[in-house]
Amino acid sequence: MNYDFDLFVIGAGSGGVRAARLSAQNGQKVALAEEFRYGGTCVIRGCVPKKLMVYASEFSELFHDANGYGWSIGEYSFSWEKFIVAKDKEINRLENIYSNILTNNNVKHYNSRATLKNYNTVELSTGEVITAKTILIATGGRPFIPNIPGSEYAITSNEIFDLPTKPNNVLIVGGGYIACEFACILNGLGVATTQFYRGDQILRGFDSEVQELVSKEMQNKGINLSLNNDVESISKVADGYIVKDKLNNEIIVDQILYATGRVPNSENIGLEGLDIKTGLKGEIIVDKYSKTNVENIYAIGDVTNRVQLTPVAIVEAVAFVETVYKSNPTMPDHELIATAVFTQPEIGTVGLTEEEALKKCDIEIYSTTFRPMKVILAGRNERMLMKLIVSKESRIILGCHIVGHAAAEMIQLAGVAIKMGATKEDFDKTMAIHPTAAEELVTMNNPTR
């Protein structure tokens, strides 16, 4: 059978664009459809604008610290409106790059919603019907807001980037990394910030020492963190929103931002009609090569709910092309993924937490907290954490956890060594760079437990 295209990709996020480009470069005839904007969550309303907001929010503390280093800083203020204009300019630039990547590689792209009509056919919202030998679903995910009275008044991480004015006070609901990042961002921008989390401690799934230190430092910086608490109802009033919590307290805020998880964008794209299997959260079930239960239909990225990270979607895209078009069956590697959380202080982590490692083998813990040099003249008492988890038997480093300035940069490099199977003795033999915070990773001689 003759098809219009060899490959049709649904979704122009990082994974979809990478798969389309590499397939086209390999000689396939490729088309792609995107209903919103090119670049996906990461570029448009995720990692990139968030990191720009992190940078913006850090200046309030930097201005304060400068006095301790002899600088005299005059009056300063933050313009939300000016920042939004600058942010939008950069996002538009990046979106154009993504669009041009497709164009320059002869990928036919449609600004349209695409749904599956049958195993080899997609239908666009324009009414156009297109056939393809292989279909790749890369539709990503979206924030989830639970159904409570007044939930229609809440916003998510999608909308926070486009607020026309800065709120004076805000409630963040959630305790995961997205909630904690935005609590730190808004607090740093001068917004009175309250955070509710229904659990005992924020950052569930992270190492307990990381959780405790970041929670303490966030509160020290002025975030009102309310644990074992949640929203009961939201009501609109003239000067904002009244939020009633589970403890029967009420607060009035300008905005309520929910960051209580994300769900795959798998609804209403035709999966049901083709009996494509999905999971409890709507995630598309795929095998180790990203193939669905339908022979010619694949899925990558957040819509599969494997690991919701941009670099993971890109790796899955590369593996898809190797498998389908280069006769080189390749499984994306989801083990030992180094990750960063841009809280303030920020987190870098790779491998097992102490709690996870204890369930697997006998371990040694090398851990230290200290005041980094950077904050001493500034007169701040912020603490930094360096932690290594080591197998007693093999001496292999099972996990590395860093909290503090530049943790994300450090963990990327530490992740290379740990991915290669570095032992504690390999770290010990590495010469320290002084004076740095990172030298602690190679100078912790005695286990703390």
Instruction: From 417, 441, 419, select the one nearest 431 (Cα to Cα).
Output: 441
Instruction: For residue 369, count CB atoms less than 10 angstroms from its CB and return exposed for 0-12, middle for 13-18, buried for 19 or more.
Output: middle
Tokens of 389: 């988890």
Helix (H) or strand (E) holding 134: strand 129-137
Rounded Cα distance between 36 and 43, Å, is: 12
Tokens of 129: 């019907």
Q: What are phi and psi of 256, to 5 degrees?
A: -120, 120
> Of 64, 334, 401, 434, which is the active-site residue?
434
Secondary structure of 322-391 as H, E, C letters: HHHHCCCCCCCCCCCCCEEECCCCCEEEEECCHHHHHCCCCEEEEEEEECCHHHHCCCCCCCEEEEEEEE
Residue 244, amino acid: K
Instruction: From 337, 357, 339, select the one nearest 348 (Cα to Cα).
Output: 339
Tokens of 158: 């999608």
The residue with tokens 């749904």 is: 115
In the chain, what is the straight-line distance between the N-terminal and C-terminal CA atoms, in Å?
65
Residues 55-91 as b/e (b if ≥16 CB within 10 A, e otherwise) read ebbbebbeeebeeeeeeeeeeeeeebeebbeebeeeb
Residues 328-340 as b/e (b if ≥16 CB within 10 A, e otherwise) read eebebeeeebbbb
Residues 185-198 as b/e (b if ≥16 CB within 10 A, e otherwise) read bbbbbebbbbbbbe
372 neighbors 382 (Cβ within 8 angstroms) = yes
List of long-range contacts for 126-129, beta carbons under 8 Å, 24+ apart = none
Instruction: From 433, 397, 431, 429, select the one nearest 414 (Cα to Cα).
Output: 397
Instruction: For residue 175, count CB atoms less than 10 angstroms from its CB and return exposed for 0-12, middle for 13-18, buried for 19 or more.
Output: buried
Q: Check if 434 is active-site.
A: yes
Instruction: Look at the chain and count its residues.
Output: 449
Going from the C-alpha of 64 to that of each of 133, 213, 249, the distances in angstroms are: 60, 22, 34
Show which residues are catalytic: 434
